[in-house]
């Protein structure tokens, strides 16, 4: 059985997240497909690590980095209040096709509730051609909130008692 953990990112994760972000399929399935120079990424990462409204996590499987999850406080599209958390994630190519995307999205609920207790809704957007992520969101219990020409937005209600939603 594989051992896993979802840990907060540390200052030592800058290069790892740079590699994840610039991987070809991640770029192709991102809303911003351009390759990011390391200096730009390092600046972004430094701000991310200090931000109060964003949290970055690393998924490790058998002590190997397998993916990343970022959670950001945002406006709730249902109420207009600042009670939602938006997620983005990626899975390392070595771990794709094994259910880790769905696993990560299921555990995003608990991390969002821990990080932002006022959040009542989890939101994630996927490019319309990203069938793997669409499947992962649906398997993780998210519902389609909005379908656009080039993206689908998913939502999932969060529990207020800290349990997985």
Q: What is the dihedral of CA 45, 16, 98, 137, to 10 degrees?
A: 10
Question: From CA 6, how far away is CA 53, in angstroms rounded?
Answer: 19
What's residue 161's pLDDT?
52
User: What pTM value is reported for the model?
Assistant: 0.91
Position 60 pLDDT exceeds 90 = yes
Q: How many domains does the chain have?
A: 1
Whether 53 maps to a domain, the answer reads: yes
Q: Crossing angle for the helix pair 14-22 and 38-50, nearest 10 degrees?
A: 120
Q: What is the pLDDT of residues 64-90, one digit of tens each?
A: 999 999 999 999 998 999 999 999 999
pLDDT digits (tens, 9 = 90+) for 1-23: 689 999 999 999 999 999 999 88
User: Looking at beta carbons, which pairs linking 141-147 to residues 24 or more positions away fall under 8 Å?
Assistant: 141/106, 141/165, 142/105, 145/77, 146/77
pLDDT of residue 160: 57
Classify residue 163: in a domain, yes or no: no
What tens digit of pLDDT does each residue of 40-54 get?
Answer: 999 999 999 999 999
Flag whether 165 is in a domain. Answer: no
Phi, psi for residue 83 in degrees, rounded to 5: -125, 30
Domain enclosing residue 38, as ranges? 4-157
In a domain, 162, yes or no: no
Residue 163 has pLDDT above 60, yes or no: no
Tell me the β-bridge partners of 144: 154
C-alpha to C-alpha distance for 19 and 70, rounded to whole angstroms:
15
Helices (H), 9-130: 14-22, 24-29, 38-50, 100-115
Q: Is residue 73 part of a domain?
A: yes
* CATH code, domain carrying 28: 3.40.630.30
Q: What is the CA radius of gyration of the chain?
A: 15
pLDDT reported for residue 27: 77
Q: What percent of the chain has pLDDT over 70?
A: 96
């Amino acid at each position: 059985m594989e051992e896993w953990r979802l840990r907060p990112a540390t200052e030592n994760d800058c290069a790892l997240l740079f590699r994840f972000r610039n991987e070809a399929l991640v770029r192709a399935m991102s809303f911003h497909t351009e390759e990011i120079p390391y200096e730009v990424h390092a600046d972004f990462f430094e701000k991310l690590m200090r931000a109060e409204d964003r949290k970055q996590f690393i998924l490790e499987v058998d002590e190997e980095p397998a993916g990343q999850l970022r959670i950001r406080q945002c406006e709730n599209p249902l109420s207009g209040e600042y009670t939602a958390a938006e997620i983005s994630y990626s899975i390392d190519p070595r771990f794709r096709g094994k259910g880790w995307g769905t696993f990560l999205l299921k555990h995003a609920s608990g991390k969002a509730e821990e990080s932002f207790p006022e959040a009542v809704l989890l939101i994630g957007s996927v490019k319309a051609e990203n069938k793997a992520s669409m499947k992962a969101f649906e398997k993780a219990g998210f519902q389609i909130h909005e379908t656009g020409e080039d993206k689908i937005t998913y939502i999932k209600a969060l529990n207020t008692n800290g349990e997985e939603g």
